[in-house]
Amino acid sequence: MSYESDLPETSSYSPTAVAISAVGGIALALVSVWWAAGTAVFYEGLFRISPTVDGGGVGTDWVVGNTVPWLDFLIAFIHAADVLMGLFILLMVFVHWGAFRRLAAQMQDPEEERREAVATDGGETE
């Protein structure tokens, strides 16, 4: 494109590499989904919970009838990870929120600029 002609040369990715990666990515997705789906992709209906099912049917919590102890652990672990990461992310939000407020205080006040604009016709600025 014309407007790019006199812009600086920057190292980028070659179109061939991009094309090969794109084909590779789609191929990976196709193989993964083919492997995961087996012969039946849409079996959601089979497992949809009916809230009326009593006492340990498909409709109850996954814990009921679970016989795999490490799945219990996995879910307890991810609960802990959610809470710990959540608190950490909250800390990050507050640190950045605070930093942004300090940075904003260093910037020009929008009101100030309006006053300066008035000053061009001879008015006085503070």
Partner 1 sequence: MTNLDHGKFTRVTTTFHSLLALDVFLLFFTGYSLTFNDELWWLLTLMGGAEGVTALHRVAGFGLISLIGFWAILMLTTDTGRSNFRAIVPTGDDVRAFIQDVQFVLGNADERHPNAKQFAGGDHESIPLLSYIGKGVVFIFAIELFLLTISGLLIWSKTGLMQYFGTKTAAMAFVVFHGLLGVIMLMGVMFHVFEHGFHPAFYPVEPKAFIPRELIPETHADGDISDLTLAPSWNTVSNVMGALTVVGIVSVMIGSIFDEGYPVPRELTVGGGPEHLLLTVGINAGIFVLFVGLVLSMYGNLLRVRWERRLEEERESGRTTATDGGTPDD
Q: Which residues inside 15-54 make contact with partner 1, applying CB under 8 A? A: 17-18, 20-22, 24-29, 32-33, 35-38, 40-51
Q: How many residues bind partner 1 (CB under 8 A)?
A: 85
User: Looking at beta carbons only, is 36 or 120 nearer to partner 1?
Assistant: 36
Question: What is the C-alpha separation between 62 and 72, in angstroms, rounded?
Answer: 10
Return the residue of 55, 110, 120, 124 that touches partner 1, per CB under 8 A. 110
Backbone angles phi, psi at 72, to 5 degrees: -55, -50
* 82 lies in the binding site for partner 1 (CB under 8 A): yes
Residue 58: CB partners within 8 Å, gap ≥ 6? 47, 49, 50
89 part of the interface to partner 1, by CB under 8 A: yes
Any contact of residue 118 with partner 1 (CB under 8 A)? no
In angstroms, rounded to a whole number, what is the distance separating the alpha carbons of residues 90 and 101? 16
Q: Is 115 in the site for partner 1 (CB under 8 A)?
A: no
Compute the distance between CA of residue 26 and CA of residue 84 in angstroms, rounded to an integer: 35
Residue 126 found at the interface with partner 1 (CB under 8 A)? no
